Structure 1
Amino acid sequence: MSTDRSLAEALADHIAASGDLRSPEWRRAVLDVPRHEFLRDGFFRRTDEGHVTGWEPVLPDDPTWLPACYANASLVTQIAGGIVPRDIEGRIFRQPTSSSTMPGLVVRMLEELGVEDGMRVLEIGSGTGYSTGLLSHRLGDELVTSVEVDPAVSGRARAALGRIGHHPRMVIGDGLQGHREGAPYDRLIATCGVLRIPVAWLEQVKPGGRILATVGGWLYASELACLTVHEDGTAAGRLLGGEVSFMLARPHTPPPLGVLPDFAREGTERECTVPGDALTDWTARFVAQLAVPGAQRFSLMDGDGDMDVLLDVHGESWAGLRNEKGRWIVREGGPEPLWRRIEDALLRWGRDGAPALGSFTVGVSAEGGQTVSWPSSAG
Structure 2
Amino acid sequence: MTSAAEPLRQRLADVLTEGDWMHAGPWRTAVAAEPRELFLGPAIFRQDGAPDSIAWTPVHRARVSDEEWLSLAYENTTWVTQIDGVLAEDASGPLEGSPTSSSTLPGLVVQMIERAETGPGDRVLEIGTGTGYSTALLCNVLGDHNVTSVEVDQAAAERARKALAEAGHVPRLITGDGLFGAPDGAPYDRLIAACSVRYIPYTWLRQIKPGGTILVTLAGWSFGHGLVRLTVDEEGGASGRFLPGYTSFMIARPHDHPPRGTIEFMPGELRPCAIDPALLDDWSGRFVAQLAAPSAERLGLGDKQILHDVATGSQARTRPSEDGGWVVEQHGPLRLWDAVEDAVTVWQAAGSPHVSEFGLTITAHTQRVWLGAPDGPSWNLPV
d(CA) in 2 for partners of 1:85 and 1:364?
A: 39
Cross-structure match for 2:194: 191
1:55-89 Cα deviation digits (max 9, x unpaired) = 001122324332111111111000111x1222223
- Residues of 1 paired with 2:265 and 2:247: CA distance? 35
Tell me the secondary structure at the aligned position of residue 9 of structure 1. helix
Q: CA deviation at 1:206?
A: 0.5
Q: Deviation at 1:307?
A: 4.1
The 8 Å contact of residues 57 and 85 in structure 1, kept in 2 or not, is answered as yes
Find the counterpart in structure 2 of residue 72 from structure 1. 76
Which residue does the alignment assign to 1:202? 205
Cα shift at 1:51 = 4.4
2:159 and 2:166 map into 1 onto residues whose CA distance is 11
Amino acid at match of 2:101: S
The 3-state SS of whatever aligns with 1:197 is coil
List runs of 5+ in structure 1 lacking aligned partners: none
4+ residue stretches of structure 1 with deviation over 6 A?
none
Amino acid at match of 2:350: D
Amino acid at match of 2:242: L
Using the TM superposition, give the Cα deviation of residue 2 of structure 1 relative to its aligned residue in structure 2, in angstroms: 2.9
TM-score scaled to structure 1, two decimals? 0.93
SS in 2 for 1:218: coil
1:249 aligns with 2:247: no
CA distance in 2, matches of 1:58, 1:373: 44
SS at match of 2:164: helix
1:124 and 1:148 in contact (8 A); partners too? yes
The answer to whether the 8 A contact 2:39-2:133 is kept is: yes
Deviations 1:199-251 (A, max 9, x none): 00000000011111111111112121100000011100111121111000000
Q: How does 1:305-344 map to 2 (within 5 A)?
A: 307-324=304-321, 326-344=324-342
1:62 to 64, 67, 73: 64
Identity %: 46
The equivalent residue for 1:364 is 362
Distance 1:52 1:36 in 2: 26
Distance (Å, rounded) in 2 between the aligned partners of 1:320 and 1:258: 18
Q: In structure 2, what is the equivalent of residue 102 of structure 1?
A: 105
Q: Tell me which residue corresponds to 1:350.
A: 348
The answer (yes or no) to whether the contact 2:276–2:303 under 8 Å persists in 1 is no
2-structure distance, mates of 1:51, 1:37? 30
1:290 is matched with which residue?
291
Tell whether the 8 Å contact from 1:20 to 1:111 is kept in structure 2 after alignment. Answer: no
Aligned-pair CA distance for 1:306: 8.5
- Residue of structure 2 in register with 1:22 after alignment: 23
| In structure 2, distance between residues paired with 1:93 and 1:19 | 34
**3-state SS of paired residue (2:204):** helix
Q: AA paired with 1:139?
A: L
Change (3 A) 1:50 1:16: closer
1:151 & 1:175 partners in 2: Cα distance? 12
1:221–1:243 contact (8 Å) kept in structure 2: no
- SS at 2:80's partner residue? strand
Matched residue SS, 1:248: coil
Deviations, residues 108-130 of structure 1 (Å, cap 9, x unaligned): 01111112322211111100000
Please show how residues 131-280 of structure 1 align to structure 2 within 5 Å: 131-258=134-261, 260-263=263-266, 266-280=267-281
The answer to whether the Cα contact below 8 Å between 2:277 and 2:303 also exists between their aligned partners in 1 is no
Give the TM-score of the pair, scaled to structure 2.
0.92
Give the drift of 1:34.
1.0
Residue 2 of structure 1: SS of its match in structure 2?
helix
Q: Is the 8 A contact 1:202 1:366 kept in 2?
A: no
Q: Indicate how the Cα distance of structure 1 residues 199 and 152 shifts in structure 2: closer, same or farther if over 3 A, else same.
A: same
Q: Do the aligned partners of 2:192 and 2:214 also contact (CA within 8 Å) in 1?
A: yes
Question: Over aligned residues, Cα RMSD in angstroms?
Answer: 2.0
